[in-house]
Amino acid sequence: MSWEIFFVLLLILGALLSFLHEKVTPDVTALLLFVILLVSDVVPREKIFGVLSNTAPLTVGAMFILSAALVKCGAVDRLAGLLQSFSGFSYFTIMPIIILGVGGLSAFINNTPVVVVLVPVVIALARKMNVPASKMLIPLSYAAMMGGVCTLVGTSTNLVVSGIVQSSGHPPIAMFELAWIGLPVLALGTVFLTVAGRFILPDRKPTSNPASAEDRREYLTEVFVTPDSPAIGQTLAGAGLTESRAIRVLELVRHDEPQKFDSKATRLAAGDRLLLACRPQGVTHTRSLSGVDLTAELKLGLGQIAAHEGVIVEGVVGPGSALVGHTVVEADFRRRFHFVVLAVHRHGKALREDLQRERLQNGDILLLMGTERAVEDLRSSEDILLLDRPPVPSRRDSRHLAITIGSITGVILASTFGWLPIEVAALLACAVVFMTGCLKPRDGYQAIEWNLLFLIYGMLAVSVAMEHTGTSTYVVDRVLSLVNDFVPVEHKALVMLAVFYVLASVLTEVLSNNAVAALLTPLALSLAAQMGVDPRPFIIALCLAASASFATPIGYQTNTYVYGVGGYRFSDFLRLGLPLNIICFIVAIYIIPHVWPF
């Protein structure tokens, strides 16, 4: 083993550990790998910078823009409206409709917004059908993932694999080439999820909203402790601000900073601002407190908040939300949304300690209190999705919808018949939707998951290093030496295909699917070259395995999103997802050698 191979293997091990521990985000890890390879000079710098010419990330970004245009024009809302009309159907009738509908849409656009928009629709549908939402949300996420396997543009993973394959001198993946395996997986998955989902998935309700009907009739009141208040130096309980008086202290702000407080220990100081949730008698009691004033702020120019009826709602932090990675304080949540965060629920557990400084994650459920007006304003936010009912529909412009669908269809046809390379067709389609006003350029650029593009470029640099230093050949030689000792020659290719599929599937359950695709594509090409067989079967197996992460809630962001919303446990994904993984494995091992022979 040369020192270059050892160095690259050490980088890969470090990346895997970083992805697992999540101390830094995957895109930052990938960027660090990119920089280390540039500085170390293990690979000529022009080769590292050469990955920037790979068209896969560019195509991924363009498809994000086209997906956003389709969502803005109301395509997903029309599907949501159609699903709502099926509330009178039985579970075994509605689930195939949901799975096939979502799978079909996800085959051509980014599946994350599809799931995000449809989650409250499915929750409302489950409520009308008197079926627990937990029976329907995991299948919703799985349907989006299975649909993505059916086409080249169905998921960014396919585009990454195709880009690396093409840069290595092999034919790229055709638009509908993956349908040979994607459609059987979607068909069998639909049957399995419909039957097994009804009996395997739990009858469980989200634990995020403990508020009773009486609690929902509270009033929000902001008070100010005056400089001459007799309450100065007293505890909150001593000042009469207790639940026994129908008053709940939601927030204590001192010197413009939210403070930790204890009703029996924290003592009031002059200038303290308190946000209270009071029932009607509590508002009356608050107004009677000397030196705890609702009107003094007007004299100080601080802007009084009078008593308004408070509404408690649940909202979930979306995958692309600007709140992810920020605390409630950093996000200036109170001023930005006019809500107070009462509780944060993550992975079925309540986070009640120091909520103001808890960094928010994708799928976190927030228990919020605000006014009716604040609730209606929040419905148009893309950062938090309210779960009480479907969000405010996007504008339904039939002309813009037709143009957007026509543009995406043009990308598909141009790529399918070879009229234009897919990256050129996708960029042309983006220009069309911008020029026709279907989507504002600013909204399009915001729809791009830039962190994903950085992740792809970083991992492409690692794949180049693996090829240049001979790391791929070194790893493949070691694997082949093990297989040669136990497997007859006539079965060696099929066994290696099975081993490669299982490796990719296991890694995808705990790592980013794009990172797995970028790491394993060079191995697939080297493996086929060493065995003297066509690399296509291994490439197709990788596309399926890197997207079929059903067994854990952390393998794919739509799984993470429905994890908390559905009140699931980790084991729920394992019970339903592991059998589905096995079904995909069997389909792959049977179909791939017949359609793409070695």
Coil, strand or helix at 203: coil
Q: What is the pLDDT of residue 411?
A: 92
| Spatial distance between the Cα atoms of 134 and 141, rounded to a whole number of angstroms | 12
pLDDT beyond 50 at 310: yes
Domain boundaries, the chain: 3-205+404-595, 219-309
| Spatial distance between the Cα atoms of 453 and 49, rounded to a whole number of angstroms | 15
Q: What is the pLDDT of residue 549?
A: 82
Coil, strand or helix at 545: helix
Listed range (141-155, 359-373, 408-422) with the worst mean pLDDT: 359-373
Q: What is the pLDDT of residue 301?
A: 38
For 200-233, write each residue's pLDDT tens digit: 988 866 544 444 434 444 556 677 888 888 888 8
- pTM for the model stands at 0.76
User: 506 or 393: whose pLDDT is higher?
Assistant: 506
What pLDDT band is residue 152 in, cutting at 50, 70 and 90?
very high
| Spatial distance between the Cα atoms of 224 and 219, rounded to a whole number of angstroms | 16
Which tokens hold the place of 353? 């300690």
DSSP assigned state of 356: G
CA atoms within 13 A on the CB side of 132: 18
Listed range (192-206, 347-361, 376-390) with the worst mean pLDDT: 347-361
**Which of 303, 524, 262, 448 is CA-nearest to residue 516?**
524
Cα-based torsion angle of the residue sequence 420, 426, 432, 438 in order, rounded to the nearest 10 degrees: 150
Q: Would the CA dihedral through 578, 100, 133, 218 be positive or negative?
A: positive
| Average of per-residue pLDDT across 21-43 | 87
**C-beta separation of 263 from 249 below 8 A:** yes
Coil, strand or helix at 248: strand
Strands 339-346 and 308-309: unpaired
What pLDDT band is residue 565 in, cutting at 50, 70 and 90?
confident
DSSP assigned state of 226: -
| Average of per-residue pLDDT across 366-375 | 76
Q: What is the pLDDT of residue 296?
A: 38
| Residue 593: burial class (beta carbons within 10 Å; 0-12, 13-18, 19+) | middle
Q: What is the pLDDT of residue 383?
A: 79
For 409-438, write each residue's pLDDT tens digit: 999 999 998 899 999 999 999 999 999 998
Cα-based torsion angle of the residue sequence 164, 170, 172, 174 in order, rounded to the nearest 10 degrees: -150
pLDDT beyond 50 at 299: no
List Cβ neighbours of 290 (8 Å cut-off, separation of 6 or more).
229, 230, 231
Q: What is the pLDDT of residue 541?
A: 95
Q: What is the pLDDT of residue 298?
A: 40
**C-beta separation of 368 from 315 below 8 A:** yes
Output the average pLDDT for the chain: 82
| Spatial distance between the Cα atoms of 494 and 496, rounded to a whole number of angstroms | 5
pLDDT beyond 60 at 353: no
> In this prediction, what percent of the chain has a pLDDT beyond 70?
86
Q: What is the pLDDT of residue 304?
A: 41
- Neighbouring-strand partners of residue 316: 365, 385
| Average of per-residue pLDDT across 139-145 | 93
| Average of per-residue pLDDT across 13-17 | 86
Residue whose structure tokens are 């985000």: 25
Provide the CATH number for the domain formed by 219-309 in this structure.
3.30.70.1450
pLDDT beyond 70 at 554: yes
Q: What is the pLDDT of residue 75?
A: 77
With left for phi above 0 and alpha for psi between -120 and 50, is residue 180 left, alpha or beta?
alpha
**C-beta separation of 291 from 224 below 8 A:** no
For 230-255, write each residue's pLDDT tens digit: 888 888 888 877 766 677 787 888 88
Q: What is the pLDDT of residue 395?
A: 54
What pLDDT band is residue 139 in, cutting at 50, 70 and 90?
very high
| Spatial distance between the Cα atoms of 79 and 73, rounded to a whole number of angstroms | 12
pLDDT beyond 90 at 150: yes
What pLDDT band is residue 542 in, cutting at 50, 70 and 90?
very high
| Average of per-residue pLDDT across 289-302 | 50
| Residue 139: burial class (beta carbons within 10 Å; 0-12, 13-18, 19+) | buried
What pLDDT band is residue 36 in, cutting at 50, 70 and 90?
very high
Which tokens hold the place of 358? 């808890």
**C-beta separation of 56 from 456 below 8 A:** yes
| Spatial distance between the Cα atoms of 237 and 559, rounded to a whole number of angstroms | 44
**C-beta separation of 375 from 52 below 8 A:** no
Q: What is the pLDDT of residue 349?
A: 66
| Spatial distance between the Cα atoms of 562 and 552, rounded to a whole number of angstroms | 12
User: 429 or 351: whose pLDDT is higher?
Assistant: 429
Q: Would the CA dihedral through 117, 123, 125, 128 be positive or negative?
A: negative
pLDDT beyond 90 at 185: yes
